[in-house]
Structure 1
Amino acid sequence: MTAAQPLLPLAGRLRLRAGVAPERIDARPLFAQALFQGMPADSVPKLAGRLYALCGGAHEMAARLALAAARGETPRRSDAAALRELQQQALSEHLRHLWLDWPRHLLGHHAAPEELRVLAQLRQHGVAGLQEVLPHELYGMPAREWVQRRREHQLDQWLAQAASLPARCLRAVADLAQTLQLTRVPSLEALRSPADLRRIAEAALARADFVLTPEFAGRARETGCSPRLQRIGRPRAGDVHARLLDRLEEIALLLLDEPLLRVRALNLGAGRGMACVDTARGMLIHALTLDGAERVGLYRVIAPTEWNFHPRGAFTAAFARQGAASDRRGGTLLALAYDPCIEFEVQTQKDAA
């Protein structure tokens, strides 16, 4: 999946300043629920996929599964097929992020056209066409070997010498990134039981603004590559450098067909359904209700950004620890580690004065 052109301009921005809750400069999380209300149910999945430039395929899948669950249907596609599709989408989004966003934020400039051959191959052949060449392009070695080296704490030589664009980005910020400590926040990935997922979906359907600051048991949660890797026994990332490396490890594991990503759909009662699907950024949730005419009543979308950039969430807590002296570069690295699905701007205390 390449980044699709959104049907409408839903970009938005986050304004980030140490000690202050992230300020959203748009109402994007509320847009879908207002747009979809009253629409014929069958028109929603395709439209959901077109509304979001990032992870559009995951939004379409979540909408389709939530709709089927509301109808009490068993999804037509097998779980294996859905997971394979999701894996391809996540890999595509990971690659777009590494080759487009990392150079811009970590090196201070866009990648040169000749450095974007991976994305050109992705557009031409899809992820399947990159299975053989991507490990060399990204790691300079087989994916399994890179993972093994990381787990044995033997990446120093790779980081110092690797020629790939993502490796050069990491090398440029490694010293600073290792000083930026993360704050422990409960993992959203641990909430996978039907009762837990039902509780989140019911809260979203009951209160429209829940999607802006989602919580579970009164606390914000963290989602993304790092919490997913903890499920398979990897240590929790303690600093920004480790969290950035977690993204590279997830890519390697997805190339090796490790079952990291999950899809779940639940019927919440007559005409009510929800679905959660794993994306490159973390867990995406759609919940909806249908009326007797097969039109949408309520519609809710909770994206990973709303969890990770919650006012009392993972990014906010880590950024606040930098104190009044925090600089724009440190804030940018922290934000990139949590990877919001919209553009962001970092303000220093001096900027806000």
Structure 2
Amino acid sequence: MSSAGNLNIVVSLDGGRSLTARVENTRPRAAAVLVGRHVDEVLRMVPVLFSLCGRAQGIAARAAVAAARGEACAPSIEDERAISCEAAQEHLWRLLLDWPTRFGRLPQRVRFAHLHHRLAQVNDTAAAFDVGGVLLDLVAKELLSGFFLSMREPANLAEFVSATRYGGFVGETLAELIEAGRWTPEGDKVAPLLPPHTAQEWAQMLGGTLPAPEFDRAPAWHGGASPVVCETGALARQSRSPLVAALLGYGHRIAARVFAQVVDLSDHASRLRHPLARDMQPCFDAAPLGEGAGLACVETSRGVLLHALRLEGDIVADYHIIAPTEWNFAPGGAFMQEATGWEAEGRDAALARLDWLALSLDPCVAFTVTQEAAADA
């Protein structure tokens, strides 16, 4: 997905039992190269500095600068369109290219390339409306068609699997994940889902100041007696969707994440067809963060993206970027909570399950899952 660093996931196994896991995050701290530069140069650099979510990153930077200057910065139709097109491209990458190969099927390269190109070319209301319709058709045919055959929701997991298999390749992926078994950590211990927050709420949580450097790599929500590392992303946004909630209830959290990505894709299609709808969460928000400082939060395909910066005149004096991957792969985060405390049929099944878990959390860089050498275990 990106050449900017990797997530090296190293696990120790006893047969099919996952004992320990650690994540070596080699992603560079991209914000460091922005400090000391003129703000106009920074705003030009940010969209091209990131190989993924460049549009969302650029909008976050612009909104954070506006907040630092005390200027209003509300989402425009063009902003929402850019974020939704980009998020749709990222979801399609996972659904059409990455997930099929996990189960021995060919990636849908031609279909992906066609849709990716159409989304990249959207530059007006009519084109956005049309491609939004194409995405909704894709969701209906490739996942939900089996659920349309019944007047009620599936009564049990067997009916759920049957309905997904009636759909296309996305449905097949979900069926394979469900039939692979329910692997939940002992005690059903999982990271809580990060609810939506306004930029002002983020600013209050941070105490009205820029985050500490360690927050950039290991963020946590400080809203109670102790900090909480939450899961962000499609599942956090779509957990109340009935069929996603059903999968969570059955204990199939990985499949629930994939289903949530499809529901999220349909939401972005809806935004393209009906922009700035009042009953949809704003695609971004911004707030001041002390004198000369500002914060912006953008909902990307992978979860909430935070930019926080401080200006001294027109020079960027400090900059922090907290990507969704930092939440989901942080110590005590979603991956670490679910990576251990269960047993698969054998070593290969355990490694496959860990690969699926990482992929379902949609990191913004490439990742590897390897077994720790016996001498190092």
Residues 325 and 364, structure 2, Cα contact 8 Å, conserved in 1: yes
Cross-structure match for 2:194: 188
Cross-structure match for 1:107: 103
Q: 1:41 aligns with which of 39, 42, 45?
A: 39
Q: Distance in 2 between matches of 1:172 and 1:281?
A: 23
Q: Distance in 1 between matches of 2:215 and 2:307?
A: 13
Q: Which residue type is aligned with residue 170 of structure 1? A: L
Cα separation, partners in 2 of 1:271 and 1:147, compared to 1, 3 Å: farther
SS in structure 2 at match of 1:235:
helix
Moved more, 302-311 or 217-226: 217-226
Q: 2:87 aligns with which of 90, 93, 99?
A: 90
The question of 1:168 aligning with 2:164 is answered no
Q: RMSD over aligned Cα, in angstroms?
A: 3.3
Quote how far apart the aligned CAs of 1:300 are: 0.3
The correspondence of residues 91-240 of structure 1 with structure 2, limited to 5 A, is 91-104=88-101, 106-108=102-104, 111=107, 113-116=109-112, 118-119=114-115, 121-122=117-118, 125-126=121-122, 128=128, 129-140=130-141, 152-153=153-154, 155-163=160-168, 165-176=169-180, 178-180=182-184, 183-192=189-198, 194-200=200-206, 205-217=210-222, 218-230=227-239, 235=245, 237=248, 238=251, 239-240=253-254
Quote how far apart the aligned CAs of 1:256 are: 3.2
Q: Distance in 2 between matches of 1:248 and 1:148?
A: 19
Q: 1:286 aligns with which of 291, 307, 323?
A: 307
- Cα deviation, 1:240-271, whole Å, max 9, x if unaligned, reads 11221111122223323472553110111221
Task: Report the TM-score, using the length of structure 1 for normalisation.
Answer: 0.82
SS in structure 1 at match of 2:339:
helix
The question of 1:248 aligning with 2:262 is answered yes
Quote how far apart the aligned CAs of 1:315 are: 1.1
Q: Distance in 2 between matches of 1:53 and 1:150?
A: 44
Cα separation, partners in 2 of 1:137 and 1:100, compared to 1, 3 Å: same
Quote how far apart the aligned CAs of 1:194 are: 1.9
Cross-structure match for 2:280: 259
Q: Which residue type is aligned with residue 138 of structure 2? A: E
Q: 2:61 aligns with which of 60, 63, 74?
A: 63
Q: Which residue type is aligned with residue 136 of structure 1? A: D
Residues 183 and 314, structure 1, Cα contact 8 Å, conserved in 2: no
Residues 286 and 302, structure 1, Cα contact 8 Å, conserved in 2: yes
Cα separation, partners in 2 of 1:145 and 1:62, compared to 1, 3 Å: farther
Q: Distance in 2 between matches of 1:311 and 1:108?
A: 32
Which runs of no fewer than 5 residues in structure 1 stay unpaired?
none
Aligned residues: 339
Q: Which residue type is aligned with residue 30 of structure 2? A: F
SS in structure 2 at match of 1:44:
helix
- Cα deviation, 1:13-33, whole Å, max 9, x if unaligned, reads 332425233111x242x232x
Task: Report the TM-score, using the length of structure 2 for normalisation.
Answer: 0.77
Cα separation, partners in 2 of 1:146 and 1:37, compared to 1, 3 Å: farther
Q: Distance in 2 between matches of 1:150 and 1:58?
A: 39
Cross-structure match for 1:338: 361
Cross-structure match for 1:319: 339
Cross-structure match for 1:269: 290
Q: Which residue type is aligned with residue 245 of structure 2? A: P
Larger radius of gyration: 2
Quote how far apart the aligned CAs of 1:44 are: 1.6
Q: Distance in 1 between matches of 2:284 and 2:161?
A: 36
Cα separation, partners in 2 of 1:147 and 1:194, compared to 1, 3 Å: farther
Residues 225 and 282, structure 1, Cα contact 8 Å, conserved in 2: yes
Q: Distance in 2 between matches of 1:196 and 1:151?
A: 40
Residues 49 and 59, structure 1, Cα contact 8 Å, conserved in 2: yes
Cα separation, partners in 2 of 1:172 and 1:143, compared to 1, 3 Å: closer
- Cα deviation, 1:66-91, whole Å, max 9, x if unaligned, reads 0110011112x645543343222222
Q: Distance in 2 between matches of 1:299 and 1:107?
A: 41
Moved more, 191-200 or 205-214: 191-200
Q: Distance in 2 between matches of 1:347 and 1:70?
A: 43
Quote how far apart the aligned CAs of 1:232 are: 6.8
Q: Distance in 1 between matches of 2:148 and 2:217?
A: 36
